[in-house]
A and B are shown apart, each in its own frame.
Chain A
Amino acid sequence: MSELLSVKNLQSGYGRIPILFGIDLSIAKGEFVGVLGHNGMGKSTLLRTLMGHIPATVGTIAFAGTDVTRASPAARARAGIGYVPQGRQIFPALSVMDNLRVGAACTGRQQTIIIERVIEEFPRLKPILTRAGGVLSGGEQQILALARCLCAEPQLVLLDEPTDGIQPSIIEEMKDTLKSLARARNLSILLVEQNLEFISDLATRVLAIKRGQLSGEIDPTKLHEADLAGDIRPA
């Protein structure tokens, strides 16, 4: 598999407070990588830095062979990096359809074709297309956030804790959807999570993050043992 994302010695933080230290990460085309870690270990910061919302202080980020370390979030998105943030960040006053339209706005391709395909992939959205994003349930918003991200036709999706605050039935549905999407679209996905079961069912490779550093790779089938041994969450 060819390399899509290559991160070398990445450091970043909030103001003068460093959060990430020397992150090295590589994701191949079509690969599903999970990053596990406790609250405050730098999971969201890692995704926000990769998306460009937090500047990298040291290190490089290359995407599809191009250095994007200094590129704006919008330029990264147009290059093919998609982002589904924690908390979904739906445009609350826009309808579901308009949220999808915004997702497809910068693709330069026929929006209706892109949106029709996404609605086929997320049939749950079909009956609620005219409803405002802000009045949807947490699960519906999560599905919309993922669908909106796919409207931008990314090659890599950065998924930040998609199971956070979501009811179990939707989590199961999301798991199935993500599996089939990754296959059908040959998507690369970088998923950060605390939900061991979710990540072990989806990721082909799991990395643990501790205090802003990737502390090693864990076999997805042995996540519970690794957790008990303190390899994921600090004691």
Chain B
Amino acid sequence: MDYFLVVLFQIAGTVGNLALISVGLAVIFGMMRVINLAHGEFIMLGGFAAIFGVQAGINIWIAMLVVAPLSVAFLGIVVERLIMRRLYGRMVDTMLASWGLSLLLIGLATTFFGNRVVGIAAPVGSFQIGTYSLGAYDFVLTGIALAVFSSGYALLRFTPAGLIARATMQNREMASSLGIEPARVYAITFAIGAGLSGLAGGLLAPISGVLPTMGVAYVAKAFITVITGGASVITGTALSSVLLGSINTVSTFLTTPVIGDVALLLAATIFLRILPTGITGRIFKGAP
């Protein structure tokens, strides 16, 4: 029984982790069709922002939940304004530009912060289930992921701003014919996507540490999760995180972490073979 509970809690932790590293990309790629290969570096910069915030004496929760997302959202505004604004509708060009940006950010981070892992202590300890000890921070991550996805869903589904964003992403020209400024909507959406990536980086800093090249480890998983989720950015990413996170954790428990990652990739490949438009291409169609 204890072992079963441990596996369940681990699944919750992995799902939360996967959902957090994917949500920023879900907004930028899922909504705007921008292949942002600098997504991992946005996560990395969020991590550094949180660490420097803590080192500067800021409360760790504020550093992770406020400083990290706001810093990367600001960077997102600059990147959107200087680079992405000119490339909307040209997916391959966005991919090449963001790849260049990714290399630039890694180079700058290495130059200024050094090529070494830095970290901060987790703000919460551990708890016992029978003879097993589990880190409570994983559940904090899952709770925050749940809050982010719920508020993202509510924002897109129930607010005028969310409606305007969904309409603009579906048909930019028609939205502008109804008085909406698409450039402003795109800039805000990109900044929110970048900010969510920064939030993920800030929250992951205590458990994974931060290194200039750490983004590579996240970007592939995030893309797989978002693509498996399908057209509905929030619902799809949440469902695919649950699905792929569960498969990853169970496989890891049964075999090794490496086989767990292989199982995740294999499962995503099979799902996309069966459901080429992703999970929400078949179920929950039209949900945000």
Q: Which residues on A are within 8 Å of B, measured CB to CB?
A: 51, 53, 72-74, 77-78, 82-83, 85, 89, 91-94, 98-99, 101-103, 105-107, 111, 132, 148-149, 152
Which residues, 116 to 175 on B, are CB-close (under 8 Å) to A?
Answer: 160, 163-164, 166-167, 170-171, 173-175
Are B176 and A101 touching (Cβ within 8 A)? Answer: no
User: Bound state CA distance, A92 and B285, in angstroms?
Assistant: 11
Q: What is the interface residue range for chain B against chain A?
A: 10 to 19
Interface segment, one of B73-81, B98-106, B177-185: B177-185
Which residue in B166, B173, B181, B286 is a CB contact (below 8 Å) of A89? B173
How does the 8 Å CB contact mask read for B176-209 relative to A, with 1 for contact and 0 for none? 1111111000000000000000000000000000
Residue of A nearest to B161 (CB): A105
Are A105 and B177 touching (Cβ within 8 A)? Answer: no
Which residue in B163, B173, B181, B182 is a CB contact (below 8 Å) of A102? B163
Are A77 and B181 touching (Cβ within 8 A)? Answer: no
User: Bound state CA distance, A74 and B167, in angstroms?
Assistant: 14
Are A148 and B178 touching (Cβ within 8 A)? Answer: yes
| Closest beta carbon of chain A to B286's beta carbon, Å | 5
Which residue in B166, B171, B173, B179 is a CB contact (below 8 Å) of A106? B179
Could you jot down 24 A-B contacts, CB within 8 Å?
A: A73-B173, A74-B177, A74-B178, A74-B179, A77-B176, A82-B177, A85-B177, A89-B171, A89-B173, A91-B166, A94-B163, A94-B166, A94-B170, A98-B163, A101-B160, A102-B164, A102-B167, A102-B175, A102-B180, A105-B179, A106-B178, A148-B178, A152-B178, A152-B179
Inside 8 A of B178's CB, which chain A residues have their CB?
A: 74, 77, 102-103, 105-106, 148-149, 152
Inside 8 A of A98's CB, which chain B residues have their CB?
A: 163, 166-167
User: Bound state CA distance, A99 and B180, in angstroms?
Assistant: 13
Inside 8 A of B179's CB, which chain A residues have their CB?
A: 74, 77-78, 105-107, 152
Are B163 and A89 touching (Cβ within 8 A)? Answer: no
Are B164 and A77 touching (Cβ within 8 A)? Answer: no
Which residue in B164, B176, B182 is a CB contact (below 8 Å) of A105? B164
User: Bound state CA distance, A105 and B286, in angstroms?
Assistant: 20
Are A105 and B163 touching (Cβ within 8 A)? Answer: yes
Which residue in A83, A92, A105 is a CB contact (below 8 Å) of B170? A92
Residue of A nearest to B170 (CB): A91
6 A-B pairs with least C-beta separation: A106-B179, A77-B179, A73-B176, A89-B174, A102-B167, A83-B177
Residue of A nearest to B175 (CB): A102
Inside 8 A of A148's CB, which chain B residues have their CB?
A: 178
User: Bound state CA distance, A162 and B178, in angstroms?
Assistant: 18
Given contacts A53-B173, A105-B180, 17 further A-B contacts (CB under 8 A): A53-B177, A72-B176, A74-B179, A74-B181, A77-B176, A91-B170, A91-B171, A92-B170, A93-B170, A93-B286, A94-B163, A98-B166, A102-B163, A102-B164, A105-B163, A106-B180, A107-B179
User: Bound state CA distance, A148 and B160, in angstroms?
Assistant: 15
Inside 8 A of A83's CB, which chain B residues have their CB?
A: 177
Inside 8 A of B181's CB, which chain A residues have their CB?
A: 72, 74
Inside 8 A of A82's CB, which chain B residues have their CB?
A: 177
User: Bound state CA distance, A51 and B177, in angstroms?
Assistant: 7
User: Bound state CA distance, A66 and B160, in angstroms?
Assistant: 29
How does the 8 Å CB contact mask read for B17-36 relative to A, with 1 for contact and 0 for none? 00000000000000000000
User: Bound state CA distance, A94 and B285, in angstroms?
Assistant: 11
User: Bound state CA distance, A91 and B288, in angstroms?
Assistant: 14
Residue of A nearest to B288 (CB): A93
| Closest beta carbon of chain B to A187's beta carbon, Å | 16
